[in-house]
Amino acid sequence: MIVEKYSKALIQALNENELVEVYEAVAKIALISKDPKFILLVKSPLLSIDEKVKILSEIAECNNPKFINFIKIILENKRVDSLKDIHKRLYAKVSELQNTYAGFVEGKISEDTLKALENKLAEKFNATIKLYLKETDINGIKVFVDVLNVEFALVEERVKQDIISQILKAI
């Protein structure tokens, strides 16, 4: 609920170009938000909110006044823990605006197969899809495109069972 509120307010305050810029800045902060040194920094009573905002804007490499105001509000309301979830919401919005989505494939497949999967998904969703390969030791593949809620798996054992089932039905 809180993440939704902050995300929605931030998205409404930004135009498309600013949204991409601020998304990248929030992504940089979200990336380091689990680091114990980062947590100590943002929760330190020794630093003022303005000093923390300055440090975070330098880390994010963003001087957009709306971003700086957003970070200040997040710090004042002690909602720094929400940045990772806000980042996810911004990612979904930026992906939607640019009609470009990222996902990953688990398994062992060739680069050509990966490209073919990207092309088929791009055709189905009328969007640009970029898939990243995570090699795992499963007999098949699993495909995930989180923002589009796409998830499917082709597992060798399951395919064999389906073939046997179809043969038995045909008899």
Of the residues 41, 76, 95, the one at which a domain ends: 95
Provide the residue range defining the domain that includes 149. Answer: 100-170
H helix and E strand count, the chain:
8, 4
| Mean pLDDT value of segment 78-86 | 87
Question: pLDDT tens-digit profile of 41-62?
Answer: 888 899 999 999 999 999 999 9
Total of domains in the chain: 2
Give the pLDDT band of residue 170 (cuts 50, 70, 90): confident
pLDDT of residue 57: 92
Structure token digits, residue 41 = 């920094």
pTM over 0.95: no
Same domain, 84 and 108: no
**Please, are residues 28 and 87 in contact by the beta-carbon 8 Å criterion?**
no
Same domain, 87 and 157: no
Same domain, 62 and 130: no
Beta strands at 100-107 and 128-134: parallel, antiparallel or unpaired: parallel
Task: For residue 148, give the DSSP letter.
Answer: G
Same domain, 119 and 139: yes
| Mean pLDDT value of segment 62-86 | 91
For residue 93, the SS3 value is: helix
Of the residues 67, 95, 123, the one at which a domain ends: 95
Same domain, 82 and 126: no
Burial of 131 (0-12, 13-18, 19+ CB in 10 A): buried
Give the pLDDT band of residue 160 (cuts 50, 70, 90): low
| Rounded-to-integer distance, Cα 83 and Cα 46, Å | 22
pLDDT of residue 159: 65
